[in-house]
Amino acid sequence: MRTVLLALDKFKGSLTAADACAALARGLDSAARGLDSAARGTQAARAAEAPGASEAPFSSGTGLRVLTVPVADGGDGTVDAALAAGFVPLAVEVAGPLGEPRTVRIARRDGVAVVELAECCGLVHVDAPGPETHARASTRGLGEAIAAAVADGAREVVVGIGGSASTDLGLGMLAALGADRRDDDGRPLPEGSAALHSLVSADISGARAALAGVTLTIASDVTAPLTGPDGAAHVFAAQKGAPEDSLGQLDEDLGHAAAVLLRGTVTDPRRGPRRDALAGSEPSGPGPMRSGPSPVPTVTGKADTTDVSGDPTASAGAGAAGGTGFALMLLGAQTRSGAEVLLGMADFDAAAAEADVVIVGEGSLDAQSLQGKAPAVAAARARSVWAQCASPQRKGSSVSGSEPTQHRFRTVLAVAGRADLRSEDLTAAGIDRVLTLRERAASDEDSIARAAELLEDLGRQLGHELGGDPARGPDRPSSGRAADR
């Protein structure tokens, strides 16, 4: 019997990761059993929603056994992936990106909580992103969710920070946790990026005290520094509504506010009256902070305070979520690959050790997918597990109980709404073949609208191909392509 592991991320705009896994599982089930997929849909979907690497209800006579691990990489869908891995939800009320009240979920298990910025105050909750919404958008809701998780007893908080609506340097989050931020009149700083240039004093000791004894982990695939041409303003702010001609000023404001946070309580003598580029006038004043890079905070499994003796604005990930990565680092957070964190929670390695076929995927498979996104991380991790299975068991090995790889045909496949990768890139990522919904749809819009139906059809195709002898490869059609280029 061949074992198939489904490790899909969301198909953005169409399906959650769990829904995508369920649709593909229905197709595999239909092919394996020779039954109508609609009659089997409820059972396959229930299996996809079970904690951890759940097993679809296939009998031993079908030739296929299906495991599902819905995945995420720290953006929207992070809490869903944690819940699929066996965490339980806690509902809390927080401020949305523009201050509106929102009820969101925290995932919790055994003293560990997972908080998702996108669900609390992400761009998905801004109907029409533009200059005005970007100027006001805040991360306060994220801080409120972290505080609620700690109040509930969490001693470790994993913070997924993808999908943000703001470029506020995490100041809203810090304030919600107890930090004090003041403008030049001594008043509490208003929310949003438009107020960054007004920050003249800051004291984050209250936020640090609120998190005493708590391990913070940033789950993210973003490695951008805070400032500069590759930083939070120039790379990400425009998609959140910031005007293109304001990005230089915004970059400067981030550098200024970061300097204030690093110095504790300080008034920057360089900051005189200036005309606000975010309000449509010309920028003035000094350029953004520049200095040599500092070491990235150590990732050890324990929270380490960030070394701020150099320039932590240059640290990898400081620019994530509009500078929220930087603010979390100041609170002692360590950064880890979001996909690695979520795969670990779901015990992906144990499931991969049993699998003959691992199917990864997301809505759009492109060059960005290979930069720490869930499909590439899952493919690499599966290959690593199989390599361990093929080697003599080593003392302390985390993978055991699997038939040696050299006696089995094993492959990593990918499914996507659309794909734009060269064959050599796929090979380097450990992916043997890509199948797309776009090949089965009349248009991009059609593939988005009918994603579940098309994934189910694709599952039926793969079910027929994979239902053979595990000692040899799938029975692939001769017309099968390596990638949709």
Distances (CA, A) of 275 to 113, 118, 130: 43, 32, 20
As given in the structure block, the two tokens for residue 377 are 């991380």
Strand partners, 219: 160, 336
What is the mean pLDDT of the segment spanning 59-72?
77
b or e along 161-172 (b: 16 or more beta carbons within 10 Å of the residue's beta carbon)?
bbbbbbbbbbbb
Number of other CB atoms surrounding residue 280 within 10 Å? 11
Q: For residue 95, give the H/E element and its range.
A: strand 88-95
Per-residue pLDDT tens over the stretch 223-249? 999 999 999 999 999 999 999 999 999
Residue 389 contacts by C-beta under 8 Å, 6 or more apart in sequence?
353, 399, 402, 403, 404, 405
* All residues at 6 or more sequence positions from 396 whose CB lies less than 8 Å from its CB, including other chains: none
Where b means 16+ CB within 10 Å and e means fewer, 221-234 reads bbbbbbbbeebbbb
Between 270-279, 336-345, 412-421, the lowest mean confidence (pLDDT) is in: 270-279
Distances (CA, A) of 184 to 76, 171, 206, 207: 36, 16, 21, 22
Percentage of the chain modeled with pLDDT above 90:
69
Confidence of residue 363 (pLDDT cuts 50, 70, 90): very high
pLDDT cut 70: percent of the chain above it:
77
Strand partners, 479: none
DSSP state of 180: E
Q: How far is CA 407 from the centre of its chain?
A: 35
Distance in angstroms (rounded) separating the CA atoms of residues 341 and 62: 33
pLDDT at 266 over 60: no
The CATH superfamily holding the domain 78-339 is Glycerate kinase, domain 2 (3.90.1510.10)
190-214, pLDDT tens digit by residue?
A: 999 999 999 999 999 999 999 999 9
Reported as a pLDDT band with limits 50, 70 and 90, residue 107 is: very high
Multiple choice CATH, 2-71+346-466, 3.40.50.10350, 3.40.50.150, 3.30.465.10, 1.25.40.80? 3.40.50.10350
The pLDDT mean for the chain works out to: 83
Model confidence at 115: pLDDT above 50: yes
What residues contact 60, with CB distance under 8 A and at least 6 apart?
A: 1
Q: What is the pLDDT of residue 100?
A: 97
Q: What is the pTM of this model?
A: 0.81
Cβ-Cβ contacts under 8 Å for 128 (sequence gap 6 or more)? none
Positions of CATH 3.40.50.10350 in the chain = 2-71+346-466
**In the chain, ranges of CATH 3.90.1510.10 domains:** 78-339
Q: What does the CA dihedral 166, 167, 170, 175 come to, rounded to 10 degrees?
A: -70
The candidate with the shortest Cα–Cα distance to 485, out of 418, 413, 417, 420, is: 420
